[in-house]
Chain A
Amino acid sequence: MTTTIEPAEDEASVSSLISVRGLGVSYDVARTGKKLVAIEGVDLDVREGEFVTVLGPSGCGKTTFMNVIAGLVKPSAGQVLVAGEPVTGPGPDRAVVFQDYALLPWRTVFDNVKFGLEMQKGLKGDGWRDRVQEAIELVGLSGFEHSYPRELSGGMQQRVGLARAIVAEPRILLMDEPLGAVDALTREVMRAEIEKLIAATGKTVLFITHSIEEAILLGDRIVVFKSHPGAIKEVIETGLARPRSERSIQSDPRFLELRDHLWDALQGEATAAAVSK
């Protein structure tokens, strides 16, 4: 049996927007003097405008990996370059969409979206109202500007999270299992909308997920993580045409091939993780 699942070529060129070199993160475990290695020896290059999905079992360090790029976690080894500059902390060129939405409950939809602009760029001039309104319209929340987060469904709350992330027009969107907490039906609808939104805005995306289907449906490339320690197991080009609709792609032989391949890869990982515990 022949397989067309080949490792993607290493894109270590100057054109990469995000460049990760020999990245390692380890924590001191309290009172034991031991070190816990979260991730180790991670190399990755992401081109401008690329949609990269990061797939792995829970506890494989994929969120830690994203946090380093976001500037929330300092690496213990190696470095991350964004547009050639080493990452030393959060910056307006990167924005994050969180799994638990992390909205401010005391702010309305409009003011939550405003928060992104307020913190990242400041509210100079009078153009900011239009920008906030535009972001709200882009995620389909017109008419809900004055609602509070608790009055909205999970899917709608995540739309607010998405609008807050794109309002200051960052080059890079970091998405940490953004659809992990919404129901299955909403997840399908939002997956398609995220794809459309990213295609329209041309953002570079790093999308963390533990869903094989999600990784294939959204990614130009899939980065598969393994655990203990967290590291990249393989990188795969999906090579699927866009836009990808959930229904038509289910019967695409390439989709099925990728799914089987990733399923085997992850099953091995999940078993290894279960045994090592």
Chain B
Amino acid sequence: MSTFLASGPNLGRGGIGAWLAGLSARGKALVLAAEVVVMLVLWQLVVGVLGWINPVFFPPPSAIWQGFLELWSSGVLATNALVSLQAWLTGFAIAVAIGIPLGLLMGTSLPVDRVVGPIAWTIYATPTIAYQPLAKAWFGFGIGPVIFLVAISAVFPILLNVAAGMRTTNPSIIRAGTVFGASRFQLYRSVYLPSTVPFLFAGLRQAVVLATIGMVVAELTGSAQGMGAVIIRAANTYQTDQAFAAIALVVVWSVGMTQVVTLVERWVAPWTRKARR
């Protein structure tokens, strides 16, 4: 039954869609691993072996690995990754600390929602890069503007998702709570808050990706340190292998953190687990 449902648009067609939908967790991981290996091999073949593309513009995986080792052994990687990590974690913590309470307040109070909502959407809709020069002016050239850009990139998906979660609480469950005599406080604790949890985690996953973009954007110009600075310096000196190695590391961080968010969600909100493919 669930196999059928999970196959989505492939319903009734069978074939590779049905096969993929029916895979176990281990099977899915194997398919993903095979995909990565095939891509790397093709990439290596096209650039490294056949030489169809100039490796300076698009280095093969083996060169990127070399670049990574160079960055690592020179100590450049550790110093800069630590600076980025510090900025990312601080900015993300600020975004969570502001986003969750303000989102709850927006979801609870219509006046707050009407005042904060349009401002939040406007800032959220503005490209992060537009704030970059301003952030330098406001916070100088150290870690300050990076933290600011990470925080402002991450706060809105959290805030807006939490507010939406509160507002879209199933009215029939609210009615059930009322009929069983729940007080206002009990309704919040036992109905509104748990129903917001899946929205919070959806917001956190978006926030992880946007925070990482904000971090790299902030570090690309005018920063002496951080992964963004490593990428731009390497690219400017035609050490594209090192630039790609730094980009890969940032991607691994971003994907890894979304996985961490998902793991925490499975632990905090086990009822959502069975719903996903």
Which A residues lie within 8 Å of B175 (CB)? 72, 98, 102
Min C-beta distance of B78 to chain A, whole Å: 42
- What's the Cα separation between A150 and B180 when bound, in Å? 22
- Surface stretch bound by A, among B64-72, B191-199, B255-263: B191-199
- What's the Cα separation between A103 and B191 when bound, in Å? 10
Assuming the contacts A104-B173, A106-B271, asked whether A96 and B179 have C-beta atoms less than 8 A apart, the reply is yes
Give B169-183 as 1s and 0s: 1 = Cβ < 8 Å from A's Cβ atoms: 010110111111110
Q: Does A102 lie within 8 Å of B172, measured CB to CB?
A: yes
Give A91-109 as 1s and 0s: 1 = Cβ < 8 Å from B's Cβ atoms: 1100110101011111100
Give A114-150 as 1s and 0s: 1 = Cβ < 8 Å from B's Cβ atoms: 0110111000000000000000000000000000101
Count of chain A residues near B, Cβ 8 A: 25
Q: Does A96 lie within 8 Å of B176, measured CB to CB?
A: yes
Most buried by B among A72, A105, A119, A164: A119
Q: Any chain B CB within 8 A of the CB of A246?
A: no
Min C-beta distance of B77 to chain A, whole Å: 42
Min C-beta distance of B188 to chain A, whole Å: 13
Which B residues lie within 8 Å of A164 (CB)? 180
Query: Which residue of chain A has the shortest Cβ distance to B197 in the bound complex?
Result: A106
B180, B271, B275: the one contacting A119 at CB < 8 Å is B180
A92, A115, A150: the one contacting B275 at CB < 8 Å is A150
Q: Does B172 lie within 8 Å of A119, measured CB to CB?
A: no
Which B residues lie within 8 Å of A96 (CB)? 176, 179
- What's the Cα separation between A68 and B130 when bound, in Å? 56
- What's the Cα separation between A105 and B172 when bound, in Å? 12
Total inter-chain residue pairs, C-beta < 8 Å: 57
Min C-beta distance of A58 to chain B, whole Å: 17
Q: Any chain A CB within 8 A of the CB of B269?
A: yes
Assuming the contacts A104-B190, A106-B197, A148-B274, asked whether A116 and B180 have C-beta atoms less than 8 A apart, the reply is yes
- What's the Cα separation between A120 and B177 when bound, in Å? 10
B176, B181, B195, B269: the one contacting A102 at CB < 8 Å is B176
Min C-beta distance of B5 to chain A, whole Å: 12
Q: Does A90 lie within 8 Å of B176, measured CB to CB?
A: no
Q: Any chain A CB within 8 A of the CB of B186?
A: yes
Q: Does A120 lie within 8 Å of B180, measured CB to CB?
A: yes
- What's the Cα separation between A262 and B195 when bound, in Å? 43
Q: Does B180 lie within 8 Å of A95, measured CB to CB?
A: yes
Q: Does A119 lie within 8 Å of B177, measured CB to CB?
A: yes
Q: Any chain B CB within 8 A of the CB of A70?
A: yes
Which B residues lie within 8 Å of A95 (CB)? 179-180
Min C-beta distance of B40 to chain A, whole Å: 39
Sort chain B's interface into a size bin. 20 to 34
Q: Does A104 lie within 8 Å of B194, measured CB to CB?
A: yes
Q: Any chain B CB within 8 A of the CB of A151?
A: yes
Q: Does B172 lie within 8 Å of A98, measured CB to CB?
A: yes
Q: Does A115 lie within 8 Å of B172, measured CB to CB?
A: no
Q: Does B176 lie within 8 Å of A98, measured CB to CB?
A: yes
- What's the Cα separation between A232 and B181 when bound, in Å? 29
Which B residues lie within 8 Å of A104 (CB)? 173, 190-191, 194
- What's the Cα separation between A98 and B179 when bound, in Å? 10
Q: Does B190 lie within 8 Å of A115, measured CB to CB?
A: yes
Q: Does A115 lie within 8 Å of B271, measured CB to CB?
A: no
Min C-beta distance of B82 to chain A, whole Å: 39
Which A residues lie within 8 Å of B178 (CB)? 72, 90
- What's the Cα separation between A70 and B181 when bound, in Å? 10
- What's the Cα separation between A146 and B242 when bound, in Å? 52
- What's the Cα separation between A90 and B181 when bound, in Å? 6
Assuming the contacts A106-B194, A106-B269, asked whether A90 and B274 have C-beta atoms less than 8 A apart, the reply is no
- What's the Cα separation between A104 and B269 when bound, in Å? 13
- What's the Cα separation between A150 and B271 when bound, in Å? 9
Min C-beta distance of A160 to chain B, whole Å: 12
Q: Does A70 lie within 8 Å of B271, measured CB to CB?
A: no
Min C-beta distance of B24 to chain A, whole Å: 19
- What's the Cα separation between A231 and B175 when bound, in Å? 24
Assuming the contacts A104-B190, A105-B271, A150-B275, asked whether A90 and B173 have C-beta atoms less than 8 A apart, the reply is no
Which chain B residues have a beta carbon within 8 Å of chain A's beta carbons? 170, 172-173, 175-182, 186, 190-191, 194-195, 197, 269, 271, 274-275
Beyond A90-B181, A104-B190, A106-B271, 11 extra complex contacts between A and B, CB < 8 Å: A70-B179, A90-B179, A95-B179, A96-B176, A96-B179, A100-B172, A102-B172, A103-B173, A106-B197, A107-B271, A148-B274
Q: Identify 15 residue pairs between A and B in the complex whose beta-carbon atoms are under 8 Å apart, listed by A's number.
A: A72-B179, A95-B180, A96-B176, A96-B179, A98-B172, A100-B172, A103-B176, A105-B195, A106-B197, A107-B271, A119-B181, A120-B181, A148-B274, A150-B271, A150-B275
